[in-house]
Amino acid sequence: MNKKIDIVAYNQRAWNHEVESGNPWTLPASPEEIQQARSGNVQIVLTPKKGVPHEWLGRLEGRNILCLACGGGQQGPLLAAAGAQVTVFDNSESQLQQDISTAERENLTLKTVQGSMKDLSCFEDTSFDLIFHPVSNCFVDEIQPVWNECFRVLRSGGVLLAGFCNPLTFIFDMKEWEEHNRLKLAYSIPFSDVEQLSDELLDELIRKKQPLEFGHSLEAQIGGQISAGFSINGFYEDYAGDEIIDKHIMTFAATMAKKLDNSTV
């Protein structure tokens, strides 16, 4: 097949399909979770299982927060319920509709904007106090533009909270993993569904309307934030949950990075 795929357009449609299919990351926060957030107890994740430390979030009331590639009616409404001024930015209009519907259900105020996480040109420089960016940059082919744009739209002293995949997960044959619960080495990092899968496997993903993924190196994930100008001040790892690889290694990570004042750079 022709591997010249418009990744942004394809993954937009694929995530619309994930909403229809009930992917867990498309299911809105419950009324009980929203009420907890209103009471000051915000339980929120950047990675599959482990909650974000409260000290990473800091004071939320009145802060301008960008929920980046973060649609689905989960994190955005929780942060809005805690008193933040929230903008949810996502490539999928169906994911954004989950945020709109949840906000209407809970009488919350938030803004939604559709676009690619690599291009935040719709926002002016220094627009936000905090960026909340859960695991999602595995759906773009290049992540340095993401970090650069995050740095640009954050105010001095602003914070970027980001979750991402350990690239180790992308070196295994996924059919062996999913169908036979076996870990078989097959690919290299950086990984690309488009470039490294056989035509047959890529055709199968597209036929099933599954999002196309990219495994970025740790240098691109962590070093990329530093190259953009950030100082990384926090880090933790997390399990996928109920996966064969969990007994060997944690496969997700989260960072807390700060845009330092000019005087301290």
- Kind and range of the H or E run holding 79: helix 75-81
Instruction: Please write the tens of the pLDDT for every residue from 109-123.
Output: 999 999 999 999 999
Say whether pLDDT at 2 is over 50: no
Q: Give residues with Cβ within 8 angstroms of 20, minimum separation 6.
A: 94
Residue spans of beta strands (DSSP E) within 3-54 = none
- Region 21-45: mean pLDDT is 97
- Give this prediction's pTM: 0.96
The angle that helices 31-38 and 93-106 make with each other, rounded to 10 degrees, is 70
Which residues, in sequence order, are bridge partners of residue 159?
A: 130, 258
Q: Give residues with Cβ within 8 angstroms of 188, minimum separation 6.
A: 171, 196
pLDDT grade for 3, boundaries at 50, 70 and 90: low
CA distance 141 to 4: 13
Q: What is the pLDDT of residue 262?
A: 63
CB of 92 closer than 8 Å to CB of 209: no
- Kind and range of the H or E run holding 81: helix 75-81
Structure tokens at 265: 């750079």
Instruction: Please write the tens of the pLDDT for every residue from 227-258.
Output: 999 999 999 999 998 789 999 999 999 999 99
Which of 165, 160, 210, 208 has its CA nearest to residue 190?
165
Main-chain dihedrals φ then ψ at residue 77, nearest 5 degrees: -60, -35
Least confident range from 14-28, 40-54, 187-201, 251-265: namely 251-265
